[in-house]
């Protein structure tokens, strides 16, 4: 067995260095990776809940890593993951490797409030009100901007979808699994693209260029915004786009306050800001425009969402905010952005 050091720890001679988690501790904490503690599983990885000395954690077991590409590169990639510290990323606490480095266990903070997908699909009892949805969108955008521009080397997330975004007790968004494409085998990276396509998050240019980049993450984020807006799952939104309503009545109805109820998540029961809805929709459609170079970068999206957060107050009677009078300048700008997104 080999273990890998967290940054700052002295390396062991002749091997990958040591980690702060031992495999036997992870085995005990998961009851030897029992089905009782299994949260989810696919061909290449399994995720477990575990109780360790430092509390409740999540253990991700990666069965196919990129170790065969070279020990040094693999260690550098692991150490890079350990340095991803940001309030909008799920924190990686540590890791260990076994089987000659070809099997890796990643230990993450446990986030008790579940995923965004759980909340949107009402797997959990809580209802996401409109200000909370904008706050969540803003947090995801900040996390993505950090991955794209806040590090020495850009990290493409690849897996921006609602089930990969966790919410803490204050509904702050935290992106899970950041940077995993650096340490898993290429076949795993490609395998993860398939569910992205199935769920409607895959940028259209992938079929032409065969790889993902920052603008691919922007596209997936735009689809996620539409999920927050409509309460529909991404595949349903993709059907809407494929049928041409992306540039037709469905989008145009967002410019007409009288028709907002046709597209906005009905669970909001009309308690939202018209200006806020238009703001979020305009950002979403600018993100999913077909030409990658016409999509904004995440830093621009963060700024736009900051402005949109100030437009989320509901009317005193609990209904929609008044249409038109409260935001004449914003209305013109959002209409322009919707055209840009088309």
With a pLDDT cut of 90, the percent of the chain lying above it is 45
Polymer length of the chain: 342
Core vs surface per residue 294-303: b (16+ CB within 10 A) or e: ebbebebbbe
Q: Any residues with CB less than 8 A from the CB of 305 and at least 6 apart, and which?
A: 134, 137, 138, 141, 280, 283
In a domain, 187, yes or no: yes
Number of domains in the chain: 2
Element (H, E) at 72: helix 71-82
Among 81, 109, 137, residue at a domain's last position: 109
Report pLDDT for 323: 40
Is residue 135 located within the same domain as residue 82? no
Q: Which CATH number fits the domain that encloses residue 331?
A: 1.10.510.10
In a domain, 62, yes or no: yes
| Burial class, 290, CB count within 10 angstroms (exposed 0-12 / middle 13-18 / buried 19+) | middle
In a domain, 6, yes or no: no
Tell me which residue of 115, 1, 101, 134 sits closest to 47, measured CA to CA: 115
In a domain, 2, yes or no: no
pTM for the full predicted model: 0.85
Is residue 337 located within the same domain as residue 202? yes
In a domain, 129, yes or no: yes
Among 48, 78, 109, residue at a domain's last position: 109
Is residue 254 located within the same domain as residue 220? yes
Please tell me which residue, 149 or 251, carries the higher pLDDT value: 149
Which 3 state secondary structure label does DSSP give 284? helix
Q: Quote the CA–CA distance of 157 and 173 in Å, as a whole number.
A: 15
Query: Average pLDDT of 131-152?
Result: 96
Is residue 172 located within the same domain as residue 235? yes
The token duo for 112 is 């008790």
Q: Is the dihedral of CA 260, 264, 268, 274 positive or negative?
A: negative
Query: Average pLDDT of 49-68?
Result: 91
| Of the listed ranges 95-104, 165-174, 272-281, 313-322, the one predicted with least confidence | 313-322
Is residue 233 located within the same domain as residue 87? no
Query: Average pLDDT of 267-280?
Result: 88
Q: How far is CA 174 from CA 80, 98, 160, in A?
A: 18, 28, 11
In the structure, what pLDDT confidence band is assigned to residue 215 with cuts at 50, 70 and 90?
Answer: very high
158 — alpha (psi -120 to 50), left (phi > 0) or beta?
A: left
Is residue 75 located within the same domain as residue 134? no
Q: Quote the CA–CA distance of 158 and 212 in Å, as a whole number.
A: 7
In a domain, 4, yes or no: no
Is residue 63 located within the same domain as residue 89? yes
Is residue 146 located within the same domain as residue 283? yes
Decide if pLDDT at 73 tops 60: yes
Instruction: Kindly report the backbone phi and psi dihedral angles of residue 300, in degrees, each rounded to the nearest multiple of 5, phi listed first.
Output: -65, -40
Q: Which CATH number fits the domain that encloses residue 88?
A: 3.30.200.20
Tell me which residue of 140, 335, 342, 97 sits closest to 227, measured CA to CA: 140
Which 3 state secondary structure label does DSSP give 104? strand
Is residue 296 located within the same domain as residue 180? yes
Token match 């091997």: residue?
A: 15
Is residue 44 located within the same domain as residue 146? no
For residue 29, the enclosing domain spans 23-109
Report pLDDT for 5: 40
Please tell me which residue, 341 or 145, carries the higher pLDDT value: 145
Is residue 146 located within the same domain as residue 232? yes
Token match 């539409």: residue?
A: 226
In the structure, what pLDDT confidence band is assigned to residue 308 with cuts at 50, 70 and 90?
Answer: confident
In a domain, 267, yes or no: yes
| Of the listed ranges 26-40, 67-81, 181-195, 276-290, the one predicted with least confidence | 67-81
Query: Average pLDDT of 31-51?
Result: 94
Asked if 121 and 227 touch (Cβ cutoff 8 Å), the reply is no
15-19, 290-294, 337-341: which is most confident: 290-294
pLDDT digits (tens, 9 = 90+) for 153-208: 999 998 999 999 999 999 999 999 999 998 998 888 888 888 888 888 999 999 88
Among 109, 144, 167, residue at a domain's last position: 109
Report pLDDT for 312: 56
Q: Give the mean pLDDT of the chain.
A: 81
| Burial class, 53, CB count within 10 angstroms (exposed 0-12 / middle 13-18 / buried 19+) | exposed
- What's 266's DSSP letter? G
Q: For residue 58, how many other CB atoms are within 10 A of its CB?
A: 20
In a domain, 312, yes or no: yes
Is residue 91 located within the same domain as residue 151? no
DSSP one-letter string for 2-33: B--PPTTSPPPTTSS---SS-HHHHHHHTTTT
Q: Quote the CA–CA distance of 292 and 296 in Å, as a whole number.
A: 9
The token duo for 295 is 């999509």
pLDDT digits (tens, 9 = 90+) for 226-253: 999 988 877 666 544 433 344 345 555 5
Q: How many helices (H) and strands (E) does the chain have?
A: 12, 7
């Amino acid at each position: 067995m080999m273990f890998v050091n967290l940054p700052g720890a002295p390396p062991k001679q002749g091997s990958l260095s040591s980690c702060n988690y031992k495999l036997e501790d992870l085995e005990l904490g998961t009851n030897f990776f029992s089905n009782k503690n299994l949260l989810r599983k696919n061909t290449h990885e399994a995720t477990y809940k575990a109780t360790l000395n430092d509390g409740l954690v999540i253990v991700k077991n990666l069965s196919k890593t990129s170790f065969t590409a070279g020990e040094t590169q693999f260690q550098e990639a692991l150490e890079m993951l350990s340095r991803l510290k940001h309030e909008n990323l799920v924190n990686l606490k540590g890791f260990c490797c076994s089987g000659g480095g070809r099997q890796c266990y990643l230990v993450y903070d446990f986030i008790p409030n579940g995923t965004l997908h759980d909340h949107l699909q009402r797997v959990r009892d809580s209802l996401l009100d409109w200000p909370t949805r904008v706050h969540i969108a803003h947090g995801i955008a900040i996390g993505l901007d950090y991955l794209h521009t806040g590090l020495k080397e850009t990290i493409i997330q690849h897996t921006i979808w609602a089930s990969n975004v966790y919410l803490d007790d204050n509904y702050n968004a935290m992106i899970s699994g950041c940077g995993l494409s650096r340490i898993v085998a290429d076949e795993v990276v490609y395998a993860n693209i398939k569910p992205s396509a199935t769920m409607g998050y895959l940028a259209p240019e992938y079929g032409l260029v065969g790889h993902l980049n920052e603008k691919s993450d922007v596209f997936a984020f735009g689809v996620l915004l539409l999920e927050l807006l409509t309460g529909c799952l991404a595949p349903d939104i993709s059907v809407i786009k494929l049928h041409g309503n992306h540039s037709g009545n469905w989008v145009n109805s967002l410019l007409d306050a009288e028709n907002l109820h046709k597209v906005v998540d009905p669970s909001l029961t009309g308690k939202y800001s018209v200006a806020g809805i238009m703001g979020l929709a305009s950002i979403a459609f600018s993100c999913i425009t077909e030409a990658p170079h016409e999509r904004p970068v995440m830093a621009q999206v963060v700024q736009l969402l900051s402005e949109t957060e100030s437009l989320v107050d509901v009317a005193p009677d609990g209904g929609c905010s008044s249409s038109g009078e409260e935001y004449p300048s914003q209305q013109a700008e959002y209409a322009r952005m919707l055209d840009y997104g088309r």
